Structure formats: structure tokens, C-alpha cells
Amino acid sequence: MKDYQIYLLDLDGVVYRGDHLLPGAREFVAWLEATGKTYRYISNNSMQSPTDVAERLRRLGMPAPDERVVTASQAAVDHLAKEQPGQRVWVVGLPPLRRMAARAGLRVLNLARSDAPDDPAAGPETARTVLVGLHRSVTYEDLRLATRAVLAGATLLGVNRDPQLPVEDGVDPGCGAILAALEVASRAHASIIGKPAPTILTDTLDALHADRSRAVMIGDALEMDIAAGHAAGIDTILVLSGLTSPERAAAADPRPTLVLRDLADVLAQAKAGAE
């Protein structure tokens, strides 16, 4: 295994499953800390801030400074604020996403309520971008106003395109389900920040001034983590501790750089590569 200097780690299925750490997770991150490697936790979460995710990791006993957590929601607002500072934005999402966008310096037109403009004179038709995250209480009015914004010329930007959200008793509709409804209604195609799009990875690596030849994405999902890593032009490690079976891994095209059992296996290989 190459002596990587930058590790991008997916969370669910790699570091933890539910409220339990997966084998090798704590030891692997402790080794990254001890050896001075750069690492970031990469989450496709479209509802929580990096602080929220870091707190969950700390409760599980993981080293998790806030600045080492990158969520798709924060990545989306940061990307938008960098590309279009101060832009007028209509947000389809829960209050944390609207507040994140406002803190990033964007002019959120519906900060107080998702389904009504704060200022009647600055309705959705005045927005330049519609930002879409997961919204568990989305209404027809939310979809109607966002559609009007896109039809009036706003671009459509999705935090992620996850069709489903895994929950304890099964799956619920994900951010991608809401985004798909808006794409159909507006006949627009959304840009995406989260995985499998590469933007969340490339923006993270750019912020680190990273040499991409020494960076690796570690994930458990071929269609999400590994696809994003390939699109970002970096090496990938698929771990079999989550979504992907050994049979699917063997048939993957394109193939991950490495396929390993879990983070305990990654740690063993990384130690050997660093010698």
C-alpha cells in the first residue's frame, strides 16, 4: 500500500454503524494523529453541521475536532459562497441548512420559514440559486416556490442526490427524492456537491493544498465513495465493513485501488507501507 499523506474517510459503514464503532476505527485514527497524517471525515449529510457530526464522533470515543469534519451541507454553502458571494438563495431544507447558508454570507430569502419569503418584495423569483437539502417536513408549497424560482432563472444546486435515507426501521426518501421532484417540475438539471460528485472531495483537497497523488478516499459504497474518488482523480480504498459484498467488489468497474476488510486491515497495510 502506498504511503498516503491525506486520508478522506467516509463515516457510516467505515468508521461506525449506528451507535457502534467498526473494527479498527479508533486505532486507525489514533495512528493518523500520531504519525501526523492529514485526514478529514467526509459525510454526505445534508441536515447536520460539521459540529453536529463531530459531537457524535466524540460520543463514540473518536478524535473529532470540528475542523476535520466535512459535511455535504457545509460544503455546498461554502462552495456557493466562494463562487457567488452574497448571492440571493432560496433554500429547500431544514433550519440548520438555512442558517449555515446565512452564516456563509449568502442572502437567504426564506431564513425564517422554508415556505415563505422573509420579505414579500424578495420572493423566490428573485433568487439566483435554489439550494436543496433533505427536508423531512417538505410540503407542496416548498416545492411550488422552489420550482417558481428555477423557472424564473435560478440555478438548481443539490447537497447530494441520495435517493434514500437509511433509518432504524428501514429507509425514508432522501435528499435526491426531493431534488428529483424539482428537476421534473422545472425541467432543470441540478448540480451536486456531495458524493458521488467529486466537488466535496476536490474542494476539500484544494483547501488543504493537497498533492492528489498522495491522497486516498476510503469508503464502503462503490456508487458513492469510490465513484467520487475516481471522479476526483485520487486513489480509493473500498472497505467491506458496510454496503458492498466481496462479490460486488470483485466485479466492480472501475475497480478501487484496494479492497480491504475494514479499517483494522487498512491500518495494518498503512503501517507496512510507511516502513
| Residues ≥6 apart with Cβ < 8 Å to 182 | 92, 130, 132, 143, 146, 147, 150, 156, 188, 190
List all residues 6 or more positions away from 145 whose beta carbon is below 8 Å from its beta carbon.
90, 110, 115, 116, 123, 124
Q: Mark residue 15 as left, alpha or beta (left: phi above 0; alpha: psi -120 to 50; beta: remaining).
A: alpha
Whether 10 is catalytic? yes
Task: Select which of 12, 78, 162, 235 is catalytic.
Answer: 12
Contact 15, 40 (CB under 8 A): no
Whether residue 12 lies in the annotated active site: yes
| Parallel/antiparallel/unpaired status of strands 215-219 and 235-239 | parallel
Q: Are 186 and 180 in contact (CB under 8 A)?
A: no
Backbone angles phi, psi at 138, to 5 degrees: -60, 140
Catalytic residue among 3, 10, 142, 172: 10
Dist. CA 202–CA 117, nearest whole Å? 33
Q: Which of 192, 189, 217 is nearest to 204 (CA)?
A: 217
Please say whether the beta carbons of 73 and 48 come within 8 A: yes
Q: Which residues are catalytic?
A: 10, 12
